[in-house]
Homo-oligomer: A and B are copies of this chain.
């Protein structure tokens, strides 16, 4: 079977997700990455030492056509993604957007959580939520992918199968206590990401109202009024670990939850289920595209816990984006990712 060679533009390659993307695409056997600038006149002219591609190129329809770009990755803020996505789609490229611009279903929801107007409501309607484990078929046919948020990726993979199986107690609260490495806060220097403010520290932010919450509600079908989520900053570079608490239906034990996961994720190349009472740590998933899941149930009371761990820059961003790209171009899903 012959495949289309991929010419992949990357905008936002100086950020941590963009840099990870470049690294993965450079190793990918069928892809040529091309770095592109959002603004031709941006001050920062740095490029990765190892990059051998064409000189400084602004992201435009002409450039895309000239260079034969057939897919573009937008590792940019939502407002930049809303500006560039239609331009690149018009130029005939597929688009994978790593921002939150196209993840929610309606312009109103977007405005509520992102505090800005959505300028591309028709694209919002068209975009496919790029969580391959849930929406593989839609991804294959999509022009525009909304690559999932890092926190929702770990949460949805953990929660949706249990909700769907009806194993969660109807009167339970669901708590997702989420912790992320600092790369999740981006590369722009701020006091919050200053080494001295982070090292030997730990802090919570976006208390109960992180804008990633609606991505979980939509995809996992948990009830908003019983779902509490808080994000916290770990003094590490990368990795997300979520400790998720709830109660299960009577007579349900750890093995039952593991069975549900194993059936649901049979054949999935990037989901690993742990033995009962064992849970992943970040060392197990960092620098990989895996999402690892571990389970503990207290049989007497039904109190349960799931730990879901990913690398926020890989399965939570660049790796998942490449997984989507592989699907969109008919390559093996794990190409370049193992």
User: A residues touching B (Cβ–Cβ < 8 Å)?
Assistant: 16, 49, 171-173, 175, 177, 179, 181-183, 187, 189-191, 193-204, 207-209, 224-228, 230, 232, 234-239, 241, 243, 245-247, 277, 279, 281-284, 286-287, 296, 298, 300-301, 303, 305, 307
Known: A193-B195, A296-B207, A305-B207. A283 touches B236 (CB 8 A): no
Give the residue name and chain of the B residue nearest to A274 (CB): B49
Given contacts A173-B173, A200-B286, A303-B228, are A298 and B194 in contact (CB under 8 A)?
Answer: no
From known contacts A173-B173, A201-B236, A202-B239, infer whether A196 and B182 are also in contact, taking CB-CB under 8 Å: yes
Please give, as numbers and ranges, the residues of chain B lying within 8 Å of A241 by CB-CB distance. Answer: 202-204
Contact of A245 among B173, B190, B195 (CB under 8 A): B173
From A184, which residue of chain B is reached at the shortest CB distance? B196
Whether the pair A194, B191 counts as a contact (CB closer than 8 A) is: no
Q: Are B296 and A202 in contact (CB under 8 A)?
A: no
Q: What residues of B have a CB within 8 angstroms of the CB of A301 in the complex? A: 224-226
A187–B307 alpha-carbon span in the complex (Å) = 26
Copies, count: 4
Closest 10 pairs (CB-CB, A-B): A203-B281, A189-B189, A177-B177, A207-B296, A225-B301, A173-B173, A195-B198, A182-B195, A175-B175, A175-B245
**Cβ contact within 8 Å between B209 and A298:** yes
B234 touching A235 by the CB < 8 A rule? yes
Q: How far is the CA of A283 from the CA of B226 in the complex (A)?
A: 31
13 residue pairs bridging A and B, Cβ less than 8 Å apart: A177-B245, A182-B195, A195-B197, A200-B238, A200-B239, A202-B241, A203-B279, A208-B298, A225-B300, A225-B301, A225-B303, A226-B301, A235-B235
**Minimal beta-carbon separation of A140 from chain B (angstroms):** 28
Which chain B residues border A175 with CB–CB below 8 Å?
173, 175, 177, 245
Measured CB to CB, the nearest residue on chain B to A223 is B301
Verify B195–A243 contact, CB threshold 8 A: no
Residues on the B chain within 8 Å of A247, using CB: 173
Q: Which of B195, B227, B232, B239 contacts A194 (CB 8 A)?
A: B195
A235 interface neighbour in B173, B236, B243, Cβ under 8 Å: B236
Min CB gap A219→B, angstroms: 20
Query: What residues on B are CB-neighbors of A181 within 8 Å?
Result: 196, 200
